[in-house]
Amino acid sequence: MMSDYAGPMGLANQEIRDAMDGFIAERLSSRRLPALLERTDTMLTELETLNLMEVRRTPVPLRAALTALVADLPFEYTPRIGPRPSPTAAIDVVFDIQRGIFHLMYGTAPADELIEMAS
């Protein structure tokens, strides 16, 4: 019994599937960094508002969002921040994250510099 995927037609089908998978992966990757940058911009707006309101500590939901953002980064980064940071300290972390994202988007930093950022 011959498989439906045997022979030249099966190989052609596999090549088409592989090309489609590659295209989809590339599209997702190209959207990832701008989406992360959008998240940082939103976070900065919220943190700056808290800072202007003279809130002393970043609220739990915003700290959780910052933790999730760090977990989603495509580079290693360990924020230098305490468990209950001020909005100003959290802003500094978001700026560090943006720097790393910009470096990846525009290729302006060697990989070693991103690793140093995490140290």
pLDDT, tens digit (0-9, with 9 covering 90-100), for 52-96? 999 999 999 999 999 999 999 999 999 989 989 999 999 999 999
Segment 42-56 shows an average pLDDT of 96
pLDDT at 20: 72
Angstrom CA distances, 33 to 26, 36, 114, stand at: 12, 5, 15
- How confident is the prediction for the chain on average, in pLDDT? 82
pLDDT at 25: 58
When pLDDT is cut at 50, 70 and 90, the band that residue 119 belongs to is: very low
Q: Which amino acid is at 76?
A: E
